[in-house]
Amino acid sequence: MRGLSKGARTVMFGEYGLQAEEPAWVTAQQLEAVRVTLSRKLKKEGGFFLRAFPDKPITKKPAETRMGKGKGGVEKWVAVVKRGRVICEIVGVDETAARELLKLAAYKLPLRTKFVKRDQEVTL
């Protein structure tokens, strides 16, 4: 997870975004918590775009299992988020409301994030 994100480093679909400042695995449950928070707070005012998808399976063997007998089952799905990746975007609200909404969304994530605007220069 070292280095900067290859893509999704600028706000493309919305007006404001939440950009990762450190690398992390973000689980499907954490992304779902972000989605629920944004959809409940936005109501019908604006829209949002999630730009991270959990496409990496993490496996784990059951507790107290002997060695061997193959690989364990899928425990969870994660999205690999590198530094600089825009995780979610918001459209249709003013800047102060967007800051509050993205702050609430950032509480659900296991990494440090920062608020970015559409035409803001990327500095990491």
Tens digits of residue pLDDT in 5-62: 888 888 888 899 999 999 999 999 999 999 999 999 888 888 899 999 999 999 999 8
| Lookup: tokens for 117 | 């605007």
What is the average pLDDT across 82-89? 92
Say what the pLDDT of residue 76 is. 93
Say what the pLDDT of residue 124 is. 61
- Would you say 83 and 3 are in contact if contact means Cβ atoms under 8 Å apart? yes
What is the average pLDDT across 74-99? 92
- Alpha-helical (H) ranges within 22-94 are 28-42
Q: pTM for the full model? A: 0.83
Pick the CATH number of 16-63+70-117 from 2.60.40.10, 2.160.10.10, 3.90.1170.10, 3.30.1360.120: 3.90.1170.10
Average pLDDT, the chain: 89
Beta-carbon count within 10 A of 39 CB: 11
CA distances from 17 to 60, 88, 119 (A): 34, 6, 11
Do β-strands 16-20 and 113-117 pair in parallel, antiparallel, or remain unpaired? antiparallel
Beta-carbon count within 10 A of 72 CB: 12
